[in-house]
């Protein structure tokens, strides 16, 4: 498992968007801009059941992520890895945390009727970039 440097972690912890790549059934890439988070071991992506990302990840857990510093786009990190945990536990609270990170301290995520949030924990296998 690859480890984030303090500078790479800071890039993820700042409100920088990520581009999250999963693989379609035919092997072609599917990329989505997402909010991104991390803990001591994993990169964390939060989405909703029924979307393309969870369908792709149920079949193939390989992913790629790129995050660039919105203040200096020449600073970036790219990560390749695998989803090692999928959970709905705490996912709704997590998306509210992400709303505050990206939209401000009073922001709330607009929960939709019947929407089930899901978190993917990604174990980095390869990390590189320029920070």
Tell me the pLDDT band of 1, cut-offs 50, 70 and 90: confident
Domain-embedded: residue 46: yes
pLDDT of residue 36: 98
| Domain span at 102 | 6-130
Domain-embedded: residue 61: yes
Distance CA 45, CA 31 (A): 13
Domain-embedded: residue 31: yes
Tally the domains of the chain: 1
3-state secondary structure (DSSP) of residue 8: helix
CA dihedral 90, 93, 94, 98 (to 10 degrees): 170
Token pair, residue 16, equals: 């920088």
Domain-embedded: residue 16: yes
pLDDT mean over 24-53: 97
Domain-embedded: residue 88: yes
The CATH number covering residue 38 comes to 2.30.110.10
Domain-embedded: residue 49: yes
pLDDT in tens, 13-30: 999 999 999 999 999 999
pLDDT in tens, 67-125: 999 999 999 999 999 999 999 999 999 999 999 999 999 998 988 899 999 999 999 99
Domain-embedded: residue 1: no
């Amino acid at each position: 498992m690859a480890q984030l440097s303090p500078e790479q972690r800071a890039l993820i912890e700042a409100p920088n968007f990520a581009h999250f790549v999963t693989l379609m059934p035919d092997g072609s890439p599917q990329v989505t801009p997402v909010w991104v988070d991390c803990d001591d071991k994993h990169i964390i992506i939060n989405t909703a059941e029924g979307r393309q990302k969870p369908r792709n990840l149920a079949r193939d857990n390989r992913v790629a992520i790129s995050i660039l510093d919105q203040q200096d786009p020449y600073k970036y990190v790219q990560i390749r890895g695998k989803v090692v945990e999928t959970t709905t536990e705490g996912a709704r609270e997590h998306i509210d945390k992400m709303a505050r990170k990206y939209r401000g301290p009073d922001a709330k995520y607009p929960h939709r009727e019947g929407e089930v949030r899901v978190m993917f924990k990604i174990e980095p296998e390869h990390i590189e970039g320029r920070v």
